[in-house]
Amino acid sequence: MADIKKCLCIDVGGTAIKHGVIDSQLNLSCKGEVTTPYEGVEAYLDALEQIYRQAQDQVQGIAMSVPGVIDSENGICLSGGNLRFIENFNLAEELGKRVNVPVSVMNDAKSAAMAEARWGALSDCRDGIVIVLGTGIGGALIKDGKVHFGKSFAAGEFSFITLGENMDSADDTWAGRAGNPRLRRLVASAKGIEDPESITGFDVFAWAEEGDPLVLMALEQFTRGIAHMIVNLQVIYDPDRFAIGGGISRQPLLLKYIQKNLDYFYSQFKWPGQRADVTTCKFFNDANLIGAYSYFLSRFEG
């Protein structure tokens, strides 16, 4: 396919499947979302096919961003994150049979990193790190301007970094310490709210913007752990820049508090190398869709 004009891009999340049509100018149109089905493979494929049928007259292929460890070269979901029913499933092949157009499949955080490395916040960098804050901690390493996959396609799975020596609790992983649910728990506890699920990230940052001192203390504690890990990753990898993504990355206070904690750590930690340069992803919530498009082009264009 030498002349790909438009592609249907699909980003599968734990609660919703987002989709849109992207053209060669990175214009994103026909955006929408449907609830992510958990009834099994057939329901999942049905939902994806239905999304395609709505856009089939406009597009030449499907670019997918999905959770889990993904063999992108062969389109296989080696694991599926919360979608356990697609483990060791050739999603590209099976969806391709239904729609009869090329299908590419890429891990969601690596999709975001590909978008930022090619067109976004890391486009002027040789090496970089993308950290995507969500229910867990998505991530990817950029090496020489390209996403680094690793031997088993699992490089950058930051959620599983263990922070406790016993390694016997998910609470002691980075996802447990810095996933969005923990921020809600911290704020709920500070404000005496019994059910953390009753508040949203929007609530948290609205209270923070109003200057609620307890919420600001919770936000500082939450971002301290993120800043701590950024310092460690800087020492390990020495990237040009970090880009922070995920829904809450749109909130200016998040980066402000990460930077505040970094300033404190670097005042105490006399690291002789470059201190971490941190910014937000350019494409925010659309990074996964745009990165999936980038990967599709690399697979099928030319």
CATH of the domain at 197: 3.30.420.40
Co-location of 63 and 160 in the same domain = no
Domains in the chain, number: 2
CB 129 within 8 A of CB 136: no
First-last CA distance in the chain: 6
CB 116 within 8 A of CB 130: yes
pLDDT at 302: 56
pLDDT at 1: 41
Co-location of 256 and 200 in the same domain = yes
CB 87 within 8 A of CB 102: no
Alpha-helical runs (H) found in the chain: 41-55, 91-99, 108-119, 174-178, 180-191, 201-209, 213-237, 252-268, 287-300
Co-location of 290 and 277 in the same domain = no
Co-location of 144 and 264 in the same domain = yes
Alpha-helical runs (H) found in 56-166: 91-99, 108-119
224 lies in some domain: yes
89 lies in some domain: yes
Instruction: Name the burial class of residue 110, with classes exposed (0-12), middle (13-18) and buried (19+) by CB atoms within 10 angstroms of its CB.
Output: buried
Co-location of 21 and 146 in the same domain = no
CB 102 within 8 A of CB 299: yes
DSSP 200-246: -HHHHHHHHHTT-HHHHHHHHHHHHHHHHHHHHHHHHH--SEEEEES
Quote the CA–CA distance of 78 and 154 in Å, as a whole number.
10
Q: Residue-wise pLDDT tens for the chain (302 aa)?
A: 444 679 999 999 888 999 999 999 999 999 999 999 999 999 999 999 999 999 999 999 999 999 999 999 999 999 988 898 999 999 999 999 999 999 999 999 999 999 999 999 999 999 999 999 988 888 999 999 999 999 999 899 898 888 877 777 777 888 888 888 899 999 999 999 999 999 998 999 999 999 999 999 999 999 999 999 999 999 999 999 999 998 889 999 999 999 999 999 999 988 888 999 999 999 988 999 999 999 999 998 75
Co-location of 146 and 53 in the same domain = no
118 lies in some domain: no
pLDDT at 161: 87
Quote the CA–CA distance of 86 and 155 in Å, as a whole number.
20
pTM value is 0.90
Co-location of 140 and 244 in the same domain = yes
pLDDT at 4: 66
CB 115 within 8 A of CB 294: yes
pLDDT at 163: 84
pLDDT at 179: 84
1 lies in some domain: no
Q: Which tokens belong to 85?
A: 């029913």
Q: Range of 102's domain?
A: 6-111+286-300
Co-location of 139 and 265 in the same domain = yes
Single-letter amino acid code for the residue at 21: V
CB 141 within 8 A of CB 148: yes
In this structure, how many other beta carbons lie within 10 angstroms of the beta carbon of residue 103? 26
Question: What is the crossing angle of helices 108-119 and 287-300, to 10°?
Answer: 80
CB 145 within 8 A of CB 126: yes
Q: Which tokens belong to 222?
A: 């939450």
Co-location of 35 and 140 in the same domain = no
Q: What are 132's strand-pairing partners?
A: 138, 245
pLDDT at 171: 75
Co-location of 63 and 134 in the same domain = no
Co-location of 221 and 96 in the same domain = no
